[in-house]
Amino acid sequence: MEEPKVKIGLEVHVQLTKLKTKLFCSCPSDYRGKPPNTYVCPVCLGLPGSLPKVNIKAIEYAIMVALALNCKINKRILFFRKHYFYPDMTKNFQITQYDRAGGAPIAINGYLKLNVDGKEKIIRIRRINIEEDPGKLVYPTGSIITSPYTLVDYNRAGIALLEIVTEPDIETPAEARLFLQKLRSILEHLGVCDCSLEGAVRTDANISIAGGGRVEIKNIGSVKDVEKALAYEVLRQKEAFLKGVSVRSETRHWDDVRKVTVPLRVKEEEQDYRYFPEADIPPIIITDDYIEKIAKCMPELPDERIKRFQREYGLPQYDASVLVSNKKLADFFEEAVKLYGGNPKKVANVIINDFLRWLYEKNMRISDVKTEPGDIAELLKLMDKGIISIKIAKEILPEMIVTGKKPKEIVREKGLLRISDEQVLKPIILRVFSKHKKAVHDALKDEKAINYLIGQVMKCTRGRADPVITRNIIVQLLEKIRKGENII
Amino acid sequence: MVTLFSKPAYMLKEEIISESVSIVDLVCKLYERIRKLDPIINAFITLRSEDEVIKEAERKEKEVKKGKAKGLLFGIPIAVKDNISTKGIRTTCGSKILENYVPPYDASVIKFLKDEGAIIIGKTNMDEFAMGSSTETSYFGPTRNPWDLERVPGGSSGGSAAALAAGLAPIALGSDTGGSVRCPAAFTATVGLKPTYGLVSRYGLIAYANSLEQIGPMARNVTDIALLLNVISRYDENDGTSIPGKRPDYVYSAINPYDFKEHLKVGIVSEMFSEGVSEDVKKSVLRVLDKVSGEGVEIDEISLPSLKYALPAYYIIAMSEASSNLARYDGVRYGFRANTDGDWNKVYMETRAEGFGLEVKRRIIMGTFALSAGYFDQYYLRALKVRTLILNDFRRAFKRFHILVSPTMPILPFRIGEKIKDPLAMYMCDIETVPANLAGIPAISIPAGFVNNLPVGLQLMSRPLSEDLLLKVSKMFEDKIGLKDLIAPL
Amino acid sequence: MQVGRSSEELLEHLSWLARVKLTRREKEILVKDIAKIIDFFNKLSEANVENIEPTTHVIELVNALREDIPRKPMESGEALANAPSKEDNFFKAPRIL
């Protein structure tokens, strides 16, 4: 039986975290961690008589995103009211965009190119809307089900959001992950959003299989969770399909603890949002000149940067893509290259093969890490000068990452300097010889067995012995033994 | 001998600076009258404490003595409609749902008034959330017309108009969504102006229908209107619909006579003199037009056919916007909250059930209807298109005429309780006034005369942003008609 | 438009959409009003609006925009001063479920 066709569409809500103020008022936008209801004003609190006024930079950022996603930008935009009652809504309507009564979202009909297993795949962007974030609900018992009342903090109310909606062109959970990674990289490179901030990027996913019911999974936080939720959902729907059971169109919620999607307990009624134009905000006219001005000043986008890394640093495409997938990582890399001054490929290798691996193992993100690009440069320089071996370098890297200490510090503290002094090495080698007589015997016949002896020396010296010098000394000593000379 | 409480603001202004009038005396006199008359008239919902106001008056008098008195309205008391936010002073919109709401900020016009030295004495009664033409839907009881206490003063700014007509304040602020400044002006023989949409900041005006409404000056003569407009009509960056640019000096325009190089062309709109208008009113207004026509004034007729759709279009738009603007009242952040157990839907439903009066509920329901799925195109969207027709008709009219005239109200002031049970009959009262809100053009009502001792108002309209011309012509008509600074014999 | 069951259902639906509970008496009154008011609204169907653009904003203003410059927010005491119910600087709202 043919694999049923999977159609996935994503609706991504992105906070324009780099704006200094909210979308419709001048409240500061850095509300995270602030005491509740201290970053509010009559406008975002929706006090009677208050009026919204649009942040000009929000329009600029929206246009930048639209250009980066190859969209058509609408020249005359209106805002609309979307009505629904909920305690996190200060006005019980959200000011957003719509396409009726002459309204139009800021951008439509764009696309994003993905590299899926070496092949190019295009994911179409249906539209981009500018809209405001609601406030935050806090459940005193920790659960929406058992809380006898709800606490509300409106610090987040009015923060500028872009809603980016794709066509259902995505076909696998892995593609969804790739899409989100690329989108995040683009947003970071544009400098409009710090995607690592909590709640800065939220995703709703729509998935249907073989023309069956469309399931919406709401409000998924991390990229990892999106992939997991979709994988679960694809499986669930495929099983139903194979059994001949039809899949219901419904809204589900990703339970991160049990790792399953569950139907929303609250009955999702046919929502009549009663959209109509926001009369308090006059139309915004966007001229071709204005768009061109913005286009000229656009920062380097990920695709361009990948090509430049290949050109300037001689990196293979794969390595360049890994580095650029996260702007902070790419910036880190370039800074390290500058400070190192040597072969950029070496820097790339350390970062991709070792640095990233340790970040993943210790479940840290690059923004959490105290290690600076200069530290990586220093590490490489120490290796180049022969002060430490590659083995030692790989050992101290995780400690650098966790403690933020400089490589020289760690080397000094742990006494990890490379031993290249023959006077120091010879007695150690002799001790090894006396402990491993059989190996010495083997090494006399078979050159390859020398490696075992070198290994033992490394073990004794905790990797500090200079391998080349060690090898030379061992070879010399073996020669002496062959000749029957005294080796002590 | 002109009594202190009946003096116009432009006169009080001079006399305060020249120290022939004491601000403290003025304030005391007004409070004395308010104490005596307001229990009957019910013009005020909230009065600032007399002590507090006297202290402010004393401070201002000191400034006058030092020669430091600055401000276009220095020392002038003003009554403010209770849907305009005043920091620290309760602002109720005539509703139970905001009965104890104290705004933490001033509306921009209040800031401007304070900057120019005006003294806010209290907040005036109004139809609940400005929804009405008679000031009968207020949670705080109806206001009585000082000219006939059994009759309505008009609405929704009835409290402000009654305060003026009873000599309880020299100037006042109202708001006009479909006639709410002009209607009470007409019913109380006072003057009320609805400015061009966008001329006066709405920041702080508690919204009913935000694409239609404006805060409007109210007074007993045209010059005071111009004076008040000079203060409140500034550009305000807090209001996205505020029109940028410097305003002309409206007082200068009003008191300098019309330059008759070009004949003043005055248009009578046929649709506004049709069967809906009572004969009494028609006669009264036409008599006035006779008086003013003559040298340099040409009066002619014009038909604006789209006006027959103005009233339904207005109500669809106003009710739709009301259903949206009043959605925020749920008892979570401010205002009345029902004392009931239950989830948020239940609490919201009970809160709004108990907090809103019947007319407000009616308009919210009908507005929700006009915006809802399946009805939006046929009602709301269509109403917006009719609005375009009306705008176009007025543009055409202003190519021919400088000023358009009509009666302000189709009927004489009616008795309290007479129309309140028939909402459509009440809505019909707005037939002359809503076109100006739909078109966003300035419109003013001035006293035209009396019929059976009941006031009749004449409405004048002009093109957008031409308040200088409108006030100039209104002053000219006021001079010819001879009715100004009228206070009811109480 | 006739007053019938559909008017009552419509009123029930609108009352829910608008979150305004109605007493029995109010429902009796409004059910009749709805019919009359919809008739009144229907006058617009006589207007010829073919090829007419809707007017969403009556003045010809565009681009009313604000610079991205932060201003001091409200004091939190002020923000919560009118709250009917609060706890620890949060607004206290009814339960969700």
Q: Are C94 and B343 contacting, i.e. CB atoms less than 8 angstroms apart?
A: yes
Residue with tokens 């809100």: B437
Give the whole-number percent of chain A exceeding pLDDT 70. 98
Number of residues that this document lists for chain A: 488
Answer whether A56 sits within 8 Å of C91, measured CB to CB. no
Residue with tokens 């006035």: B288
Residue C16's domain comprises 7-43
Burial of A148 from C-beta contacts in 10 A (0-12 / 13-18 / 19+): exposed
**Amino acid at position C10, single letter:** L
State mean pLDDT over A300-310. Answer: 96
State residue A211's pLDDT score: 79
Burial of A406 from C-beta contacts in 10 A (0-12 / 13-18 / 19+): middle
State residue A1's pLDDT score: 58
Closest CA to A68 of A247, A232, A188, A204: A188
CA A16, A22, A27, A31 dihedral sign is negative
Contact residues, chain A to chain B, C-beta under 8 Å: 42, 45-54, 81, 83, 85-87, 90-93, 100-101, 150, 152, 272, 274, 276, 279-282
Q: Which residues contact B181 (CB under 8 A, 6 or more apart)?
A: B157, B174, B175, B192, B193, B194, B216, B218, B445
Domain count across chain C: 1
The pLDDT confidence band at residue A255, using thresholds 50, 70 and 90, is confident
Chain B CB contacts of C22 below 8 Å: 353, 361
Q: How far apart are CA B167 and CA B161, in angstroms?
A: 10
State residue B114's pLDDT score: 98
Q: Walk along chain B (490 residues) in steps of 10 and give the mean pLDDT of each run.
A: 90 96 97 98 98 98 94 98 98 98 98 98 98 98 98 98 98 98 98 98 98 98 98 98 97 90 93 93 95 89 97 98 98 97 95 98 98 94 98 98 98 97 96 98 98 98 98 96 95
Q: How far apart are CA A225 and CA A261, in angstroms?
A: 11
Burial of B392 from C-beta contacts in 10 A (0-12 / 13-18 / 19+): middle
- Residue A218 phi/psi, 5° resolution? -95, 145
Q: Are A56 and C69 contacting, i.e. CB atoms less than 8 angstroms apart?
A: no
State residue B465's pLDDT score: 98
Burial of B115 from C-beta contacts in 10 A (0-12 / 13-18 / 19+): middle
Give partners of B (≥3 CB pairs < 8 A): A, C
State mean pLDDT over A49-65. Answer: 98
Q: Are B268 and B302 contacting, i.e. CB atoms less than 8 angstroms apart?
A: yes
Chain B CB contacts of C55 below 8 Å: 384-385, 387-388, 391
Q: Which residues contact A119 (CB under 8 A, 6 or more apart)?
A: none
Intra-chain end-to-end CA distance of chain B, in Å: 18
Q: How far apart are CA B92 and CA B85, in angstroms?
A: 9
Q: Indicate the range of A169-178, A216-225, A369-378, B44-53 predicted with least confidence.
A: A216-225
Q: Are B328 and A83 contacting, i.e. CB atoms less than 8 angstroms apart?
A: no
Domain B9-260+462-481: give its CATH superfamily.
Amidase signature (AS) domain (3.90.1300.10)
Q: Parse chain B into domains and list their residue ranges.
A: 9-260+462-481
Q: How far apart are CA B388 and CA C50, in angstroms?
A: 12
Chain B CB contacts of C59 below 8 Å: 196-198, 241, 243, 440, 464
Q: Are C75 and B322 contacting, i.e. CB atoms less than 8 angstroms apart?
A: no
Q: What is the pLDDT of residues A112-145, one digit of tens each?
A: 999 998 899 999 999 999 999 999 999 999 888 8
State residue B283's pLDDT score: 95
Whether the upstream peptide bond of residue B201 has omega within 30° of 0, thus cis, is no
**Amino acid at position B466, single letter:** S
ipTM over 0.90: yes
Q: How far apart are CA A392 and CA B150, in angstroms?
A: 99
Q: Parse chain A into domains and list their residue ranges.
A: 6-294, 300-414, 422-482
Residue with tokens 């959003």: A193
Cα–Cα distances in Å, from C38 out to B383, C15, C31? 13, 16, 11
Question: Which residue among C62, C65, C95 places its CB closest to the CB of A149?
Answer: C95
**Amino acid at position A139, single letter:** Y
SS3 A217: strand
Q: How far apart are CA B176 and CA B194, in angstroms?
A: 6
Q: What is the pLDDT of residues A398-443, one digit of tens each?
A: 889 988 899 988 888 877 777 878 888 888 899 999 999 898 989 8
Is pLDDT above 90 for C2?
Answer: no
Q: Which of C29, C44, C45, C60 is best to mutate for the B interface (most B CBs within 10 A)?
A: C44
SS3 B172: strand
Instruction: Please provide the DSSP assignment of A69-127 as one string.
Output: TTPEEPSEE--EEEE---TT-SSSEEEE--SSTT---SEEEEEEEEEETTEEEEEEEEE
Identified catalytic residue from B138, B156, B157, B284: B156
Both tokens of A24, joined, read 């419709």
CB within 8 Å of chain C, chain B residues 202-221: 211
State residue C5's pLDDT score: 58
Q: How far apart are CA B317 and CA A367, in angstroms?
A: 51
State residue A2's pLDDT score: 67
Identified catalytic residue from B81, B111, B472, B475: B81
Q: How far apart are CA C84 and CA C94, in angstroms?
A: 11
Both tokens of B454, joined, read 């009941």
Q: What is the pLDDT of residues C23-55, one digit of tens each?
A: 999 999 999 999 999 999 999 999 999 999 999
CATH number for the segment(s) A422-482? 1.10.10.410
Q: Is residue C71 part of a domain?
A: no
Cα–Cα distances in Å, from B372 out to A128, B383, B438, C15, C18? 25, 14, 22, 12, 11
Closest CA to C50 of B370, B391, B307, B385: B385
- Global model pTM greater than 0.80: yes
State residue C9's pLDDT score: 93
Chain C CB contacts of A151 below 8 Å: 87-88, 90-93
Chain A CB contacts of B204 below 8 Å: 49-50
Give the whole-number percent of chain C exceeding pLDDT 90. 88
State residue A422's pLDDT score: 83
Bridge partners of A217, per DSSP, are: A205, A252
Closest CA to B318 of B437, B182, B152: B437
C65's enclosing H/E stretch is strand C65-66
Q: How far apart are CA B133 and CA B420, in angstroms?
A: 10
Q: Are A101 and A118 contacting, i.e. CB atoms less than 8 angstroms apart?
A: no
Q: Is residue C12 part of a domain?
A: yes
The pLDDT confidence band at residue C3, using thresholds 50, 70 and 90, is very low
State residue A270's pLDDT score: 62
State residue C88's pLDDT score: 93
Nearest-10 crossing angle of helices B23-41, B9-17 = 150
Q: At C23, which CATH number?
A: 1.10.20.60
Is pLDDT above 70 for A267?
Answer: no
Q: How far apart are CA A339 and CA A47, in angstroms?
A: 53
Q: Which residues contact B397 (CB under 8 A, 6 or more apart)?
A: B267, B269, B302, B304, B404
Both tokens of A117, joined, read 């297993």
Closest CA to B129 of B95, B87, B161, B157: B95
Is pLDDT above 60 for A268?
Answer: no
The pLDDT confidence band at residue A102, using thresholds 50, 70 and 90, is confident
- Residue A8 phi/psi, 5° resolution? -125, 130
Answer whether A87 sits within 8 Å of B344, measured CB to CB. yes
